[in-house]
Amino acid sequence: MKKVFSLMLLLIATLSFLPSCSSDDDEPDNIQSQMIGTWNATSVKFSGDNDWTDITKYPSMSLSITFNQDGSYSGRGALGNGSGIYTVSGKTIKTYVGGELYGTYYVKTVSGNYAELTLTMGTSSMEIKATRR
């Protein structure tokens, strides 16, 4: 019995020192594939504000962006209408129009058809809650 107990302790100790099989290196492709589709902003929080604004109540503030699998995107709404390309690095999505950086999204969380992001354009930023159509 003592021998079995010692082997179990050795096994537990060995397993606790094994590295995890998950790797952050897989995350960029995962974020990119999770973000494919059309996203509609539902709430925004501007830099310096503490409260979320439900923009579904204000049509003039509507925002949407479509990320295509081929690296192209299109956006519509309060921040302008247009299209370009995007790149993904880790949790950061950079959008470009005519080769110039347009906006940078940092994906805080994405789960199914829900995402929370921070959008930076120049020196301005806002947090966005969005749902996929």
pLDDT of residue 101: 97
Q: Rounded to an integer, what distance in angstroms lies between the CA atom of residue 59 and that of residue 26?
A: 37
Place of tokens 């995107």: 73
User: Is residue 16 scored above 70 in pLDDT?
Assistant: no
pLDDT of residue 52: 96
Q: Rounded to an integer, what distance in angstroms lies between the CA atom of residue 122 and that of residue 69?
A: 26
Q: Rounded to an integer, what distance in angstroms lies between the CA atom of residue 119 and that of residue 104?
A: 6
Residue pLDDT, tens place only, 19-76: 434 444 444 458 999 999 999 999 999 888 899 999 999 999 999 999 999 999 999 9
The alpha carbon of 45 is separated from its chain's Cα centroid by a whole number of angstroms, namely 16
Sign of the CA dihedral running 100, 103, 109, 114: negative
Q: Rounded to an integer, what distance in angstroms lies between the CA atom of residue 86 and that of residue 4?
A: 57
CATH classification of 23-132, choosing from 3.40.50.410, 2.40.128.20, 3.30.1950.10, 3.40.640.10?
A: 2.40.128.20
pLDDT of residue 49: 87
Q: Rounded to an integer, what distance in angstroms lies between the CA atom of residue 69 and that of residue 18?
A: 36
Contacts of 110 (CB under 8 A, 6+ apart): 31, 34, 35, 116
pLDDT of residue 78: 94
Percent of the chain topping pLDDT 70: 78
